[in-house]
Amino acid sequence: MTRLVLVHGRDLAGHDPDTLEAQWLGATAAGLAAAGSSFRPTDAGSSFVYYGDTLAALVGGAAPPSVTVHALEAGAPAVGPAGLPALPDGELRFVLDVAREVLAGAGRGPEDEAPPVVAEGAVGDALAEAVVATLGLVDRYVPGVSAAVLLTLTRDVYAYLHDDHVRRVIDDGLAAALAEDEPAVVVAHSLGSVVAYSVLAGRADGAEVPLLLTPGSPLGVRAIREALQARAPLAFPAGVRRWVSARDPRDLLALRDLTPAVFPLPAGSPAIDVLRVDNRAPGNHAAAVRLDDGPWAGYLALPEVAGPVGEAMTRTR
């Protein structure tokens, strides 16, 4: 039987994974109904990989609880970005690079940035001041994205990409949900798409994945792509039959479509199917939310996003 594996995005520490899974399944069911699909996801046929508390603890230096599926284990309290913490220079530069790229995506150029880091080797206070100033510009000029949200996403991505222990703990949690003896349709949002890509691209067994769906993915952000390339050449994951990447052009946490120019794969690789969509969730980034007036919103509630899930699940069950 094909399993539906769901991988969430950034900043979900302290949330109940069962509630989050219910939201994802509810939004996906709404999207499938709008697409005319008869398939409806169930808790029994799905695995929601929850690593929110684990990642928050790892990034904050606390003892992490385990990555879980379906149940939230007791563990360390959530750790959030209260202002700008003391960060190593490498992480500060990564935050600065991503923040500047997001500003450019919002139509703001270098002339808006002050103070600049005047030398490539600038470290310490000058670099921290540039990060603070640039995050302030994000708050001022980037609709739907706050400095706190961007800082959380960037720190989480940096920790995952640059800390072997963090990556191993998170990867092992997802790997546990990908049984070797059954296919898995993988839906991975935001930071979850970085995790899913890393795990699937690194699997030697080529486990069968009829569909990899990555809505709101930041894989097209240059600093993130280059960090991945520093570890291994980009590749279309073995075992993945189809990769669909959906993005609202207003979603500046995703920033760019995964086109060959942005996410170059080796010659002869299958193409990533790129979808431009209208995500009406607040901030245009969420995977699944219930609006105040009742309907589902977010990427998974869109028929063009949920439709491929129904097709893959019904074709391979």
Q: Where are the domains of the chain?
A: 3-77+163-316, 89-157
Strands 289-290, 273-276: pairing is: unpaired
Residue with tokens 């097709």: 311
What is d(CA 268, CA 84) in angstroms, rounded to the nearest whole number?
44
Element (H, E) at 50: strand 46-50
Q: Mean pLDDT by 10-residue block, N- to C-terminus, for the chain (317 residues)?
A: 90 80 96 96 91 75 57 28 67 92 83 47 69 89 88 89 89 84 92 94 82 97 94 94 97 94 96 97 93 91 98 82
Q: Which pLDDT value is given to residue 9?
A: 87
Q: Which pLDDT value is given to residue 56?
A: 74
What is d(CA 57, CA 38) in angstroms, rounded to the nearest whole number?
40
DSSP for residue 240: B
Q: Which pLDDT value is given to residue 216?
A: 96
Cβ–Cβ < 8 Å for 49, 177:
yes
Q: Which pLDDT value is given to residue 126?
A: 82
Token pair belonging to 102: 């997001």
CATH of 3-77+163-316, one of 2.60.120, 3.40.50, 2.60.40, 3.30.2420: 3.40.50
- Cα–Cα distances in Å, from 298 out to 3, 157, 251, 304, 306? 22, 22, 11, 12, 11
Token pair belonging to 21: 């899974």
Peptide bond between residue 115 and the one before it cis (omega within 30 degrees of 0): yes
pTM here is 0.87
- Which residue, among 206, 148, 160, 186, has the nearest Cα to 52 in the 3D structure? 160
Token pair belonging to 147: 């400095």
Q: Which pLDDT value is given to residue 112?
A: 55
How many other C-beta atoms can be found within 10 angstroms of the C-beta atom of residue 278? 10
What is d(CA 153, CA 141) in angstroms, rounded to the nearest whole number?
18
Per DSSP, the chain holds a count of helices (H) and strands (E) of 9, 9
Cβ–Cβ < 8 Å for 146, 139:
yes
